[in-house]
């Protein structure tokens, strides 16, 4: 089954908690702090595997969570960092943040990889909080939470050659006779609903991958018919082979078909108009094909005098071998990898676009919810998640930091009085107008 879209949840591993511990050694009655830092959580990494051709696996598994780091140890030993979670994806996979529609990565080459959810840092052990003023701190930090997000995966088939054209012009038949592929073939429109890939071996140590792509109709660039389901796969091909039915069956005009398909490609992506193209004038075994081909050549030359037109018959294999050699010769003159629309070649190699992260931003806002003062700040909420509130010293340190960045002063300006409830995230505490270090935290 061919699947080219998926939506999955990824989460980096949480960092390990720091440890509060003290040296307990013979003849050392008052040993100093000896709690180690927690280990880093594992990253979720997408890595390209050229052996994959579909996103089918993501239909059955939609959640990927990396392991968390190990807790800090005694004797100031660092907890072990967690292993990264490697998720294999096929070449041609685009990764998009589902919330922001931001491009995270465009993965095109074997073994290319990108971190899509970073693991959290490990919490610091009490060894890190030792100072001249506090030589035996009982403070440690919780590990940082790993990054989590929903991402969309979209696969654009990676093929050297893409067969395009209206439905029932013979694309699937052509692929079946030049490769080992066995696409579904029928005497009705839209027999092909998903891309089919086949390897064409010319026998002269040259080969290439050919894709039979679903048939186009007018308005495809706006999503009509198979629309974008087809067109996004064309973007990856290095050469376009435009298959045109020269028999004129069903009252169709070959030249009109060629113009309309070219216009759909151009409207979807202007760069496709410059993609190398060969016209495969198919069904030359039919009675009116020769006269139609002569008229077709004259009309095309007026618009595109350099367009290469190869008469073939997929049924009798007339001219098929000559077409394949022309395609191979053209591929030899082109780079092996296309530069994608979204980035230049260096960006494709890295394949990473990260969202802005606030870093050390300590800004905050305060709002009222009836008698409760609500503090909004990503940095403060992050600090809360890392604070171990079962430690009195940790609570005192947290209150000191809030006063240092001006939270207490702003609360007083807003009219906060002794005993008012203050909410930060899921925690609530009682405000003391005198600015005491001791806050009473309770789950909201």
Per-residue pLDDT reduced to its tens digit, 423-443? 888 888 887 755 444 444 444
Q: What is the pLDDT of residue 222?
A: 42
Does one domain contain both 375 and 427? yes
Domain boundary among 124, 155, 186: 155
Residue 397 belongs to domain with CATH number: 3.30.300.350
Q: Do 319 and 257 share a domain, yes or no?
A: yes
In a domain, 349, yes or no: no
What residues form DSSP beta bridges with 428?
423, 442
In a domain, 391, yes or no: yes
Neighbours of 375 (CB within 10 A): 18
Residue 372 pairs in a beta bridge with 369
What's the confidence (pLDDT) of residue 2?
52
130 close to 36: Cβ distance less than 8 angstroms: no
Q: Are residues 74 and 147 in the same domain?
A: yes
pLDDT at 180 over 60: no
Q: Which residue has the higher pLDDT, 13 or 269?
A: 13
pLDDT of residue 54: 78
**37-59 burial code (b ≥16 CB/10 A, e <16):** bbbbbbbbbbebeeebbbbeebe
- pLDDT of 19: 92
- Out of 92-96, 224-228, 252-256, least confident range: 224-228
CATH label of the domain that carries residue 143: 2.70.210.12
49 found inside a domain: yes
Average pLDDT over residues 389-410: 84
**82-91, 204-213, 291-300: segment of lowest average pLDDT:** 204-213
On whether the CB atoms of residues 243 and 319 are closer than 8 A, the answer is: no
Q: What are phi and psi of 313, to 5 degrees?
A: -140, 110
- Closest among 416, 398, 366 to 433, alpha carbons compared: 416
Q: What is the pLDDT of residues 266-279, one digit of tens each?
A: 887 778 888 899 99
Q: Is residue 74 part of a domain?
A: yes
Domain-embedded: residue 392: yes
Q: What is the mean pLDDT of the chain?
A: 80
Asked if residue 168 and residue 146 are part of one domain, the reply reads no
Last residue of a domain, one of 339, 355, 378: 339
* Cross-strand pairs, 85: 44
With a cut of 80, say whether residue 286 has pLDDT above it: yes
Long-range contacts of 372-379 (CB under 8 A, 24+ apart): 372/420, 372/421, 372/422, 372/423, 372/428, 373/411, 373/414, 373/416, 373/420, 373/421, 373/422, 373/423, 373/431, 374/422, 374/423, 374/424, 375/407, 375/422, 375/423, 375/424, 377/424
Residues 30 and 141 in one domain: yes
How far apart are alpha carbons 435 and 418 in whole angstroms? 9
* Structure tokens given for 433: 């107008």
How far apart CA 277 and CA 262 sit, in angstroms, is 10
Which strands make up the sheet holding 5-11, listed edge to edge?
Answer: 63-65, 5-11, 148-155, 93-97, 103-107
The CATH number of the domain holding residue 206 is 3.40.50.300
User: Within this chain, do residues 174 and 115 fall inside the same structural domain, yes or no?
Assistant: no
Q: Are residues 300 and 215 part of one domain? A: yes
Q: How far apart are the first and last CA of the chain?
A: 48
Q: What is the mean pLDDT of residues 141-155?
A: 92
Q: Does residue 347 sit within a domain?
A: no
β-sheet with 239-245: strand ranges across: 196-201, 207-212, 161-164, 239-245, 277-282, 308-311
Residue 352 covered by a domain: no
Q: Look at phi and psi of residue 136 and say left if phi exceeds 0, alpha if psi is from -120 to 50, else beta.
A: beta
What's residue 79's pLDDT? 93
Nearest alpha-carbon partner for 154 in 229, 221, 88: 229
Residues 165 and 148 occupy one common structural domain? no
Shared domain check, 299 and 276: yes
pLDDT at 311: 94
The parent domain of residue 89 ranges over: 5-155
Last residue in a domain, options 134, 155, 176:
155
Residues 297 and 400 in one domain: no
Does residue 357 fall inside a structural domain? no
Distances (CA, A) of 314 to 225, 319, 439: 25, 9, 81
Token duo for residue 242 = 């435009």
Q: What is the pLDDT of residues 314-368, one digit of tens each?
A: 888 899 999 999 999 999 888 765 544 444 444 433 444 333 344 456 788 888 8
Q: How many domains does the chain have?
A: 3
Predicted confidence band at 39 (pLDDT cuts at 50, 70, 90)? very high
Secondary structure E strands in 333-434 = 365-369, 372-376, 421-424, 427-430
Same domain, 370 and 333: no
Whether 145 and 166 map to the same domain: the answer is no
């Amino acid at each position: 089954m061919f699947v080219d879209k998926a939506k999955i949840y990824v989460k980096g591993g949480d960092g390990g908690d720091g440890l509060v511990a003290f040296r307990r050694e013979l003849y050392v009655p008052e040993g100093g702090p000896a709690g180690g830092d927690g280990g880093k959580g594992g990253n979720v990494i997408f890595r390209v595997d050229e052996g994959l051709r579909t996103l089918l696996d993501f239909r059955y598994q939609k959640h990927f969570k990396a392991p968390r780091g190990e807790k800090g140890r005694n004797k100031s030993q660092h907890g072990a960092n967690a292993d990264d979670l490697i998720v294999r994806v096929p070449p041609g996979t685009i990764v998009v943040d589902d919330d922001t529609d931001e491009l995270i990565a465009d993965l095109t080459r074997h073994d290319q990889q990108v971190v899509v959810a970073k693991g959290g840092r490990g919490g610091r052990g009490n060894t890190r909080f030792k100072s001249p003023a506090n030589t035996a701190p009982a403070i440690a930090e919780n590990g940082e939470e790993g990054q989590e997000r929903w991402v969309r995966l979209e696969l654009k088939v990676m093929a050297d050659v893409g067969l395009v054209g209206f439905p029932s012009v013979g694309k699937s038949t052509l692929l079946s006779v030049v490769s080992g592929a066995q696409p579904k073939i029928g005497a009705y429109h839209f027999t092909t609903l998903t891309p089919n890939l086949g390897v064409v071996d010319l026998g002269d140590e040259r080969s290439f991958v050919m894709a039979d792509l679903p048939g186009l109709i007018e308005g495809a660039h706006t999503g009509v018919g198979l629309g974008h389901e087809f067109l996004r796969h064309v973007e990856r091909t290095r050469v376009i082979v435009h298959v045109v039915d020269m028999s004129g069956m069903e009252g169709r005009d070959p030249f009109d078909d060629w113009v309309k398909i070219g216009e759909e490609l151009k409207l979807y992506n202007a760069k496709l108009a410059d993609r190398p193209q060969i016209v495969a004038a198919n069904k030359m075994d039919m009675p009116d094909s020769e006269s139609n081909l002569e008229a077709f050549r004259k009309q095309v030359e007026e618009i595109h005098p350099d367009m290469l037109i190869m008469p073939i018959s997929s049924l009798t294999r007339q001219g098929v071998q000559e077409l394949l050699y022309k395609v191979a010769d053209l591929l030899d003159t082109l780079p092996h990898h296309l530069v994608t629309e979204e980035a230049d070649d260096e960006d494709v190699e890295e394949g990473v676009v990260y969202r802005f992260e606030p870093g050390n931003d300590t800004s905050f806002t305060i709002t009222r919810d009836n008698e409760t003062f609500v503090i909004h700040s990503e940095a403060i909420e992050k600090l809360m998640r890392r604070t171990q509130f079962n430690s009195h010293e940790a609570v005192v340190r947290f209150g000191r930091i809030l006063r240092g960045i001006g939270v207490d002063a702003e609360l007083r300006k807003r009219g906060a009085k002794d005993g008012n409830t203050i909410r930060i995230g899921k925690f609530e505490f009682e405000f003391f107008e005198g600015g005491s270090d001791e806050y009473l935290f309770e789950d909201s």
